[in-house]
């Protein structure tokens, strides 16, 4: 396709310079004039064209003492393990690997793909260029300031001395990481954000599906995280930031991003971290692109930044359970988080329900757990306002959807149902004319072999096979009538509810799972 584009451009008197052919995803990077765009769009196999864009460093800090409360006897940060079985790939600026905080803990890979600085000579000043990456590396595994003090870090440079990189450079770094992945549990940290990029999201998604755990900053623009990449990619664990008072972190007129694309928050304010000014210097930092300060807990120097500290927590969890998949790891992070801790009044009202109220943390002890059902709620974007509009929520590829519901602020909705799409279940909500959200309940569980049983408008409900399956969720929709309450599950004999009862004119769908796997009960509010 790239050669065909070059040939057609040449026939039109234009140059299309091929810069890179990606192997991580079916894409190539080309420098061409806008006159060639129409030609490129007409080529077979071209799905979309995306202009290469900038990404920027994101670093609101947080406090180790909030991750793990110090034990009264010691007063120091003492995690369950040092994260020494995990490897963290850091995509950032350059790193001063000789700093005493991180000496021997960071491998500088030699990968570098950065844009030129804007009218400056910062690239000649090593201290300026190393500042961001050095601080982040210390947050991850520093001797005094690190979350996972035994984790091994591999540094790839994608940000220049001004904290600016490109989508193409980040994709090339991800490609390099993909070639280097070994048997160890691996975490890929992207403490950067740019405008939403389908290409960057696709690259992150493909790398995640090879087994890597992707962690990214939500962004520091006081905006919907779904408008930014890589934060908007569902296979990425996206981290927002709170301050020491559990308020969403704000700096000047900006602050942490929020919304349904955020998985959880990490607290952040006043952090001390390694400084690149000298090999033993520490510094307090603040700002949207580089920020850190400190809060002492006993004799320790707690330090960290929201996405970086979360990557450190992931390394600790993976060291306790190296076989954890990315979906199971996300569920563990949510399970160990503090619920209801964030004061959501700062978040715009239309985004509060979709924004998770969970702050990351670690238990005092970790041990390999038996397989257990862990679930989270995944919201869709709001549908359009017409009566034909639909909203769709999907689980991650390795999760199982065990229920589907819908929500409309006005109460007007036509209901919801689950359906299979290319082998993966999705939750579809139907608008009643004023917009609707679909809400899927996504769980990690040994594949239960659940199936959808659909009713008909005149059947007033549907049910699971008695004795073989248990009902885990009901959904209801109507072709034309606003449902209101819609319907409800009905208690049956044996192991929990077995039937979905719907009102006249509504179609019921039941999700039925093998009874040997689950035991359910009905709760009404």
Phi-psi region of 440 (alpha: psi -120 to 50; beta: other; left: phi over 0): beta
Annotation marks residue 23 as catalytic: no
Q: Using CA atoms, how far apart are residues 65 and 299, in angstroms rounded to an integer?
A: 12
Tokens representing 260? 């349904």
In 3-state terms, what secondary structure has residue 155? Answer: strand
- Report yes or no: 337 and 98 within 8 Å, Cβ to Cβ: no
Q: What is the DSSP string of 65-110?
A: HHHSPPPTTT-S---SS--TT-EEEEEES---TTSTTTTTTEEEEE
Report the number of secondary-structure helices (H) and strands (E) in the chain. Answer: 9, 31
Q: Which of 132, 135, 417, 477 is catalytic?
A: 132
Rounded to the nearest angstrom, the gap between the alpha carbon of residue 520 and the centroid of all alpha carbons in its chain is 30
Q: What is the DSSP string of 364-426?
A: S---PPPP--EEEEEEPPP--SSTT-EEEEE--TT-EEEEEEEE-TTS-EEEEEEEEETTEEE
Cα Rg of the chain (Å, integer): 25
107, β-bridge pairs: 154
Q: Using CA atoms, how far apart are residues 249 and 309, in angstroms rounded to an integer?
A: 15
Annotation marks residue 246 as catalytic: no
Q: Which of 289, 337, 408, 475 is catalytic?
A: 289
Q: Using CA atoms, how far apart are residues 104 and 98, in angstroms rounded to an integer?
A: 8
Annotation marks residue 498 as catalytic: no
Tokens representing 175? 């490609």
508, β-bridge pairs: 476
- Report yes or no: 247 and 346 within 8 Å, Cβ to Cβ: yes
Q: What is the DSSP string of 474-510?
A: EEEE-SSS--TT-EEEEE-SSSSEEEEEE-TTPEEEE
Active site residues: 92, 132, 289
């Amino acid at each position: 396709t790239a050669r065909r584009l070059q040939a057609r451009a040449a026939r039109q008197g234009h140059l299309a310079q091929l810069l890179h052919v990606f192997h991580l995803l079916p894409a190539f990077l080309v420098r061409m004039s806008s006159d060639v765009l129409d030609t490129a769009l007409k080529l077979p196999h071209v799905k979309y064209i995306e202009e290469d864009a900038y990404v920027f460093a994101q670093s609101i800090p947080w406090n180790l003492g909030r991750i793990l409360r110090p034990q009264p006897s010691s007063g120091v940060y003492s995690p369950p393990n040092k994260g020494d079985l995990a490897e963290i790939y850091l995509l950032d600026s350059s790193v001063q690997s000789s700093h005493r905080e991180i000496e021997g803990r960071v491998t500088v890979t030699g990968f570098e793909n950065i844009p030129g600085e804007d009218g400056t000579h910062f690239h000649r000043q090593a201290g300026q260029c190393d500042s961001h990456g050095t601080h982040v590396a210390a947050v991850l595994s520093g001797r005094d300031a690190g979350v996972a003090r035994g984790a091994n870090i591999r540094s790839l440079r994608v940000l220049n001395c001004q904290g600016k990189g490109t989508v193409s450079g980040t994709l090339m770094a991800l490609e390099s990481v993909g070639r280097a992945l070994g048997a160890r549990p691996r975490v890929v940290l992207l403490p950067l954000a740019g405008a939403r990029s389908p290409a960057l999201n696709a690259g992150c998604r493909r790398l995640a599906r090879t087994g890597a755990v992707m962690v990214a900053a939500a962004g520091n623009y006081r905006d919907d995280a779904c408008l930014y990449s890589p934060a908007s990619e569902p296979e990425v664990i996206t981290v927002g930031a709170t301050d020491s008072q559990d308020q969403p972190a704000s700096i000047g007129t900006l602050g942490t991003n929020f919304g349904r694309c955020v998985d959880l928050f990490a607290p952040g304010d006043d952090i001390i971290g390694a400084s690149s000014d000298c090999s033993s210097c520490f510094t307090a930092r603040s700002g949207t692109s580089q920020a850190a300060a400190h809060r002492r807990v006993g004799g320790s120097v707690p330090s960290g930044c929201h996405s970086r500290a979360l990557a450190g927590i992931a390394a600790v969890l993976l060291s306790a359970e190296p076989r954890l998949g990315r979906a199971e790891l996300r569920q563990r992070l949510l399970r160990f988080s503090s619920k209801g801790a964030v004061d959501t009044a700062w978040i715009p009202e239309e985004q509060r329900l979709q924004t998770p109220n969970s702050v990351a943390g670690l238990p005092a002890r970790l041990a390999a757990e038996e397989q257990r059902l862990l679930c989270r709620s995944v919201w869709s974007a709001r549908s359009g306002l017409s009566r034909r509009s639909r909203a769709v929520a999907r689980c991650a590829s390795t999760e199982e959807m065990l229920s589907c519901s819908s929500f409309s602020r006005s109460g007007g909705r036509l209901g919801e149902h689950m359906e299979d799409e290319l082998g993966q279940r999705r939750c579809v909500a139907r608008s009643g004319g004023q917009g609707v959200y679909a809400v899927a309940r996504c769980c990690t569980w040994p594949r239960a072999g659940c199936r959808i049983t659909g009713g008909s408008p005149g059947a007033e409900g549907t049910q699971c096979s008695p004795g073989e399956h248990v009902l885990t969720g009901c959904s209801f929709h109507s072709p034309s009538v606003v449902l209101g309450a819609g319907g409800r599950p009905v208690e049956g004999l044996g192991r929990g509810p077995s039937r979905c009862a719907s009102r006249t004119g509504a179609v019921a769908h039941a999700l039925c799972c093998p009874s040997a796997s689950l035991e359910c009960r009905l709760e009404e509010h």
